[in-house]
């Protein structure tokens, strides 16, 4: 593919970007002219949306590494610069100055809400924190040792049967209402799945508390004694929710968008997103990172690190929780959660805990060793979030479910953006067929 114009090295000179690209194939056909589009930031994109219809050609891009499947105004990741913005606002500013529900309102509505609008948003979230009593009865159908993400997929999918959509409302209105309900109910559902696994009675929401504090109370309060969430834990959980709320067109977000393109029920679309998020290559990475620390602890603790690092450099094992597929330098979310992590460990007096000692030593090596620095293998958000959650008392299998609470906001922001756009189409990727050519059955079958 050739470009008839020269592109500038930075996106500052918008007028100098090409408006057309030319695709030339050596099959006798005339050169194919393709439009070039450009978003607010970043490099231009070649529009191939009509390529199959007009030329019966497809592009081959496993994993969609170079394919933009949509136009979106929700978030932006600059992997080279290590930058993440929600609706244009840097994640650093949002984490420092907003709480999770303010960020949720921003992502869903597109702008920061005013004081009265924010009060109304909080009130509507509070109104929906409980779930239908019969949803809790579904828990009895699961094994108590089932993975929380498996339980969560089932419970969320079942919500469609308990909260049917109102046919008097437009599809867009129904999905906007479902967004508020799901954001409100996700902490309740996650806490239910945890308490079921522990054999504890379910704890109802306490709508006097903040979103994060209410979640911690539903998780850990027992009827035999008072429970007051620790301020450091509340701050840590709220920050985790903000950092995980949205991250462009990742695997689970793309899954939710794909379901929405088919007109799927919003609860079932979110259930599909949770199922995708549960994978160890996606939301399960923080769970894998802590399991790595636990295996190191069993192998001898800090004394086992030199041999472990040797095996990492020899590519005999993986250093989980370091480096990032998108960020080529430091994950901006990692900087934020790193500070929260160290504050929490100090406040809870956990610096001498063997697992945290391991984590701190691995962090030191990754930040000082040339091997890791040259390869940009810095600790990422998954490394620190696992440590933070363990310090709070959240069990390892529940880590990804915490991620799902936060990402529900991004899923709805992205899904609703698609439904309200002028470019809603049923997602239908093409393929390069590599099977047998046309053939026929023999006259006599064995």
Q: What's the confidence (pLDDT) of residue 17?
A: 65
Does residue 2 sit within a domain? Answer: no
Of 219, 248, 276, the residue that ends a domain is: 276
* Residue 58 · residue 430 · CB < 8 Å: yes
Do 238 and 290 lie in a common domain? no
Do 240 and 99 lie in a common domain? yes
Does residue 432 sit within a domain? Answer: no
Average pLDDT over residues 316-323: 89
Do 232 and 142 lie in a common domain? yes
| Residue 9 pLDDT > 80 | no
Do 174 and 256 lie in a common domain? yes
Tokens 């600059």 -> residue: 78
Do 29 and 175 lie in a common domain? no
Rounded to whole angstroms, how far apart are CA atoms 220 and 229? 9
* Number of structural domains found in the chain: 3
The parent domain of residue 333 ranges over 285-392
| CATH, residue 48 | 2.20.28.60
Do 253 and 116 lie in a common domain? yes
Does residue 402 sit within a domain? Answer: no
Rounded to whole angstroms, how far apart are CA atoms 215 and 203? 10
Q: What would the pLDDT profile of 15-35 be if each residue is shown by its tens digit? A: 566 788 999 998 889 999 999
Q: What's the confidence (pLDDT) of residue 134?
A: 94
Cite the DSSP H helix spans in 262-379: 266-277, 285-298, 305-313, 332-347, 354-368, 370-374
Of 223, 243, 276, the residue that ends a domain is: 276
Q: What would the pLDDT profile of 337-346 be if each residue is shown by its tens digit? A: 989 998 998 8
Do 268 and 320 lie in a common domain? no
Of the candidates 56, 70, 27, the residue with the CA atom closest to the CA atom of residue 430? 56
Reduce the DSSP state of residue 45 to 3 states and report it: strand
Does residue 440 sit within a domain? Answer: no
Q: What's the confidence (pLDDT) of residue 8?
A: 35
| CATH, residue 372 | 1.10.230.10
Q: What's the confidence (pLDDT) of residue 268?
A: 95
Sheet holding 20-23, edge to edge: 20-23, 32-37, 45-46
**Mean pLDDT in the chain?**
90
Q: Which residues contact 399 (CB under 8 A, 6 or more apart)?
A: 284, 286, 287, 290, 385, 386, 389
Does residue 148 sit within a domain? Answer: yes
Long-range contacts, stretch 336-339, CB < 8 angstroms, 24+ apart: 336/91, 336/92, 336/95, 336/239, 336/243, 337/239, 337/240, 337/243, 337/381, 337/384, 337/385, 337/388, 338/363, 338/379, 338/384
| 100 alpha carbon, distance to own chain's centre | 15
Q: In the structure encoding, which two tokens stand for residue 419, read together?
A: 């439904």
| pLDDT confidence band for 44 (50 / 70 / 90) | confident
* Residue 432 · residue 58 · CB < 8 Å: yes
> Which residue spans within 73-203 are E strands per DSSP?
75-78, 83-86, 89-90
Do 271 and 210 lie in a common domain? yes
Do 294 and 266 lie in a common domain? no
Does residue 368 sit within a domain? Answer: yes
Of 392, 410, 436, the residue that ends a domain is: 392
Q: What's the confidence (pLDDT) of residue 101?
A: 98
Helix (H) or strand (E) holding 34: strand 32-37
| Residue 1 pLDDT > 60 | no
The residues that are catalytic are 324, 382
* Residue 346 · residue 393 · CB < 8 Å: no
Tokens 């090409």 -> residue: 18
Q: What would the pLDDT profile of 116-133 be if each residue is shown by its tens digit? A: 999 999 999 999 999 999
Share of the chain above pLDDT 90, in %: 67
| pLDDT confidence band for 351 (50 / 70 / 90) | confident
Q: First-to-last CA distance in the chain?
A: 50
Do 169 and 205 lie in a common domain? yes
**pTM (2 d.p.):** 0.89
| pLDDT confidence band for 422 (50 / 70 / 90) | confident
- The β-bridge relationship of strands 75-78 and 89-90 is unpaired
Q: What would the pLDDT profile of 95-154 be if each residue is shown by its tens digit? A: 999 999 999 999 999 999 999 999 999 999 999 999 999 999 999 999 999 999 999 999
Average pLDDT over residues 321-336: 86
Do 292 and 248 lie in a common domain? no
Does residue 238 sit within a domain? Answer: yes
| CATH, residue 251 | 1.10.580.10
Average pLDDT over residues 305-327: 90
Beta-ladder partners of 46: 36
Does residue 164 sit within a domain? Answer: yes
Do 227 and 360 lie in a common domain? no
* CA 347 to each of CA 232, 293, 344: distance values in angstroms, whole numbers, following the listed order: 8, 21, 5
Task: Classify 376 in phi/psi space as left (phi over 0), alpha (psi -120 to 50) or beta.
Answer: left
């Amino acid at each position: 593919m050739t470009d008839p114009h020269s592109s500038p090295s930075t996106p500052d000179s918008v007028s100098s970007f090409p408006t057309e690209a030319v695709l030339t194939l050596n099959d006798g056909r005339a050169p194919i002219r393709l439009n070039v589009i450009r978003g607010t930031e970043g490099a231009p994109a070649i529009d191939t949306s009509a390529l199959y219809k007009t030329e019966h050609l497809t592009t081959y891009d496993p994993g969609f590494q170079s394919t933009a499947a949509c136009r979106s105004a929700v978030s932006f990741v600059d992997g080279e610069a290590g930058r993440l913005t929600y609706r244009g606002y840097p994640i650093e500013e949002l984490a420092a100055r907003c709480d999770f529900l303010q960020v949720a309102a921003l992502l869903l509505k597109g702008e920061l809400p005013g004081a009265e609008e924010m009060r109304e948003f909080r009130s509507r979230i509070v109104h929906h924190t409980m779930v239908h009593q019969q949803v809790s009865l579904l828990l009895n159908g699961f094994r108590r040792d089932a993975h929380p993400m498996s339980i969560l997929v089932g419970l969320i999918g079942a919500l469609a049967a308990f909260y049917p959509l109102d046919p008097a409302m437009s599809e867009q209105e129904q999905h906007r209402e479902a967004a508020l309900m799901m954001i409100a109910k996700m902490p309740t559902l996650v806490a239910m799945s945890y308490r079921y696994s522990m054999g504890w009675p379910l704890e109802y929401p306490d709508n006097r508390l903040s979103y994060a504090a209410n979640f911690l109370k539903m998780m850990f309060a027992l009827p035999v004694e008072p429970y007051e969430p620790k301020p450091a834990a509340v701050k840590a959980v709220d920050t985790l929710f903000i950092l995980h709320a949205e991250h462009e067109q990742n695997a689970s977000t793309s899954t939710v968008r794909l379901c929405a393109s088919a007109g799927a029920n919003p609860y079932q679309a979110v259930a599909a997103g949770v199922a995708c998020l549960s994978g160890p290559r996606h939301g399960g990475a923080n769970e894998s990172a802590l399991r790595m620390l636990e295996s190191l602890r069993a192998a001898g603790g800090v004394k086992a690190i030199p041999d472990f690092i040797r095996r990492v450099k020899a590519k005999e094992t993986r250093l989980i929780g370091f480096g990032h597929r998108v960020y080529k330098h430091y994950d901006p979310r990692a900087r934020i959660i790193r500070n929260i992590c160290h504050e929490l460990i100090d406040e809870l007096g956990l610096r001498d805990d063997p697992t945290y000692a391991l984590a701190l030593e691995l962090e030191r090596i990754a930040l000082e060793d040339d091997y890791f620095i040259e390869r940009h293998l810095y600790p990422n958000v998954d490394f620190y979030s696992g440590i933070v959650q363990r310090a709070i008392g959240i069990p390892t299998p529940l880590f990804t479910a915490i991620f799902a609470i936060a990402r529900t906001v991004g899923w709805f922001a992205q899904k609703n953006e698609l439904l309200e756009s002028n470019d809603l189409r049923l997602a239908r990727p093409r393929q390069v067929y590599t099977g047998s050519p046309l053939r026929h059955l023999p006259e006599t079958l064995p």
